[in-house]
Structure 1
Amino acid sequence: MKVNKIALLVGLTVLIPNLSFATTLEKVIKKDVLQCGVSTGIPGFSSTDSKGVWKGLDVDLCRSIAAAVLGDADKVKYIPLTAKERFTALQSGEIDVLARSSTWTASRDTSLGLNFAGVNYYDGQGFLVNKKLGITSAKELNGATFCIQAGTTTELNLTDYFKSTGMEYKAVTYDTSGQTIDGFKKGRCDAVTSDASQLYGLRIKMDDPESVMVLPEIISKEPLGPVVRQGDDGWFNIVRWTLFASLEAEELGVTSSNVQAMLKSKNPSVMRLLGTTGTAGENLGLKADWAYQVVKQVGNYQESFDKHVGQNSPLKIERGINKLWNKGGLMYPMPIR
């Protein structure tokens, strides 16, 4: 009797469950914790305080996803990763989502088996120098030595900039941002180049922050955002719309302090956001109050920005292009309807 091997294999596939086919959402719910990849320490984005508690804009994104999926923003296991480690950790399944100030580029989006789910901070590469050098512009950095973090877009951007300006430079590379600033402190380089937001964070780590300055030039586009694995559209949607919900809440004036009262709102957009009407939660495979939990437990985007990198933080970064679209910025949440 001839055996149809293809039919047999199909039958076995149906009969024998393969746990590797479980969606990320199912795995997170089963573990009852979100494994979130963060940096090894970038002030304002993901770093620990004196008590070892993780805080920052990226950390708030991790907490928001946990609130949306598990109903508890504290159910997060933070996995600190270097720039070299981050994408491999996501590809291998060590983490469920990467929220580590990662730049959305064509090569990363198309060759690594990963998807960027949005942008939670629009940045650009800049330069941090010691004031005693007497430099006020990046155009005066010909022949300078730079401390840079390996495995980032920083290296290529620096090469492109100096090639286009006809200047020369030397580079000293490090694995972490902490090692990078330590090299700068010890005088192993004339300047540090990285995303401007990170430079403000590195600046406050200096023994005398007033002795250094961030130069005015921005030499690249660095759209930073959360990353997930390709092939799981449901999880991609959850991460993307959790970010949008935080922005939508700001746009609608829904905050952590008034969200309870807003449950009585008759504004159709607010009602859909908070789940008192519509099917947004159901469509994502989540409870109807998923976005309510995000705002209640973590806050909207403005609250996170001001607390961690804005005027209520040590960094005091201007909102700039990270303002909402209707206030002159680039942040444009897609409508929840």
Structure 2
Amino acid sequence: MRRPCGAAFCLLGVQVRTFIALVLLFFGWSSIASADTLETVRERGFVKCGANQGHRGFSNLSAEGFWSGFDVDLCRAVSAAIFSDPSRVEFVEYAGDFRMTPLRVGEVDLMSRNGYWNMPRDNVFDVVYTGVVFYDGQGIMVRDEAEVVSALELKDISVCVVANSLQHDVLERFFFNNQISYQEVMVEDSADLAGAYMAGICDAVTASATSLQEIKINAINPSQHRILPERLSKEPMGPVVRKGDMKWQTIIRWVLFAMINAEELGVNSRNIDTMAEAKNPRMRRLLGIEGEFGQALGLNATWAQDIIRHVGNYGEVYERNFGNTSGLMIPRGANELWTKGGLHYAPPIR
């Protein structure tokens, strides 16, 4: 676990790591991609995971130096699967959009950050998204006094948006396609969005749905604000690994699948000992009681059991970081299981 540090020191550390990573990439250290990451991790004794400070619900570093969040829990799940111990993780902080180079040159083993999956990232940077852990998308929030329940009902409103951003482009396209008149109110960065909207500079604000939810719950009267149901974009998020190591890619993918399957089967961190005595063959395969599925991954038989016991199933991790107990209170929506109308669906272990 990394220790807290002053802003100037942390910034210097990020700049130094950035320089080293770019030098390594320039001199062609792409051969790292063909290395056996699992063996490297085992020899080192811990997983190195890229993280992003200050994104509530996804990853956040406390004043005491403790990392928490959905992305963080996924890294701990990988550690639990390999070492039967969720604490054997070193989190390396990266700011802004600096995501791919440190991964490509072997500075970290995976990036579990709030960067969404798109075609360029999947084809240009020699990295691979291993699955979707969270479905997000750009939304619009208005005050209740607007008396609308759909973005399609908006008319002649002003919308706060970050200037020269992808969200700006998406907003323009949405209003143009639907022939809705509106006025843009530009702000410099994401940090200015909430202040501008709450100050009444604009009638509405646009950002990712998760960011809008955070703005809403921090308002003096959250019930006076409404996030409209339309999603202007698709932003699937998930962990990223280097290309060239199929074994490691498969392990990270099945860590996620195990968490989803566990929720579907009703296995969680509280009832796992009881469920281990069940006769259900699907459950017994998941928990490593029947079959040799862990061996196929290069892990021990109880790899999935260790994930569930120490970190939880998908639903537990979601509730801890986004549910009512987290303060964010983000509805599951598309992040529900497929059996409940959501998009999460995992292949069976068989």
- TM-score using structure 2 length: 0.79
Cα distance between partner residues in 2 of 1:259 and 1:324: 20
Cα distance between partner residues in 1 of 2:76 and 2:139: 29
Cα distance between partner residues in 1 of 2:74 and 2:99: 17
The question of 1:259 aligning with 2:272 is answered yes
Conservation of the 8 A alpha-carbon contact between 2:161 and 2:207: no
Cα distance between partner residues in 1 of 2:241 and 2:199: 37
Conservation of the 8 A alpha-carbon contact between 1:84 and 1:150: no
Amino acid of the structure 2 residue aligned with 1:148: V
- Shift of residue 313, structure 1, vs aligned partner: 2.6
Task: Give the equivalent residue in structure 1 for 2:317.
Answer: 304
Shift of the 251–163 alpha-carbon distance from structure 1 to 2, 3 Å rule, reads same
Residue 121 of structure 1 is aligned with which of 134, 145, 158? Answer: 134
Task: Give the equivalent residue in structure 1 for 2:15.
Answer: none
Task: After superposition, give the CA deviation of every residue in 1:115-159 in whole Å (9 maximum; x if it has no partner).
Answer: 1111112222102346677876545375735343987x5344234
Residue 60 of structure 2 is aligned with which of 29, 39, 47? Answer: 47
Cα distance between partner residues in 2 of 1:304 and 1:62: 12
The question of 1:327 aligning with 2:340 is answered yes
Cα distance between partner residues in 1 of 2:74 and 2:43: 21
Shift of the 179–74 alpha-carbon distance from structure 1 to 2, 3 Å rule, reads farther
Task: After superposition, give the CA deviation of every residue in 1:236-274 in whole Å (9 maximum; x if it has no partner).
Answer: 101100000001111111110121233333222112111
5 Å matches for 1:131-280?
Answer: 138=151, 140=154, 144=158, 146-148=160-162, 154-166=167-179, 167=181, 170=184, 172=186, 177-178=190-191, 180-181=193-194, 191-206=204-219, 209-210=222-223, 212-280=225-293
Amino acid of the structure 2 residue aligned with 1:87: M
5 Å matches for 1:69-148?
Answer: 69-129=82-142, 138=151, 140=154, 144=158, 146-148=160-162
Cα distance between partner residues in 1 of 2:197 and 2:234: 24
Cα distance between partner residues in 2 of 1:100 and 1:183: 27
Between stretches 177-186 and 298-307, larger displacement belongs to 177-186
- Shift of residue 91, structure 1, vs aligned partner: 2.8
Amino acid of the structure 2 residue aligned with 1:308: N
Between stretches 229-238 and 35-44, larger displacement belongs to 35-44
Conservation of the 8 A alpha-carbon contact between 1:43 and 1:56: yes
- TM-score using structure 1 length: 0.81
Cα distance between partner residues in 2 of 1:253 and 1:163: 45
The number of residue pairs the alignment matches comes to: 318
Task: Give the equivalent residue in structure 2 for 1:63.
Answer: 76
Q: Helix, strand or coil: the match of 1:255? A: coil
Cα distance between partner residues in 2 of 1:62 and 1:272: 23
Amino acid of the structure 2 residue aligned with 1:291: A
Cα distance between partner residues in 2 of 1:117 and 1:267: 28
Unmatched segments (≥5 aa) in structure 1: 1-17
Unmatched segments (≥5 aa) in structure 2: 1-30
Cα distance between partner residues in 2 of 1:88 and 1:185: 37
- Shift of residue 228, structure 1, vs aligned partner: 1.4
Between stretches 225-234 and 164-173, larger displacement belongs to 164-173
**Identity percentage over the alignment?**
39
RMSD, matched Cα = 3.0
- Shift of residue 49, structure 1, vs aligned partner: 4.5
The question of 1:25 aligning with 2:22 is answered no
Q: Helix, strand or coil: the match of 2:324? A: coil
Task: Give the equivalent residue in structure 2 for 1:5.
Answer: none
Conservation of the 8 A alpha-carbon contact between 1:162 and 1:169: no
Conservation of the 8 A alpha-carbon contact between 2:159 and 2:182: no
Task: Give the equivalent residue in structure 2 for 1:12.
Answer: none
Cα distance between partner residues in 1 of 2:108 and 2:48: 5
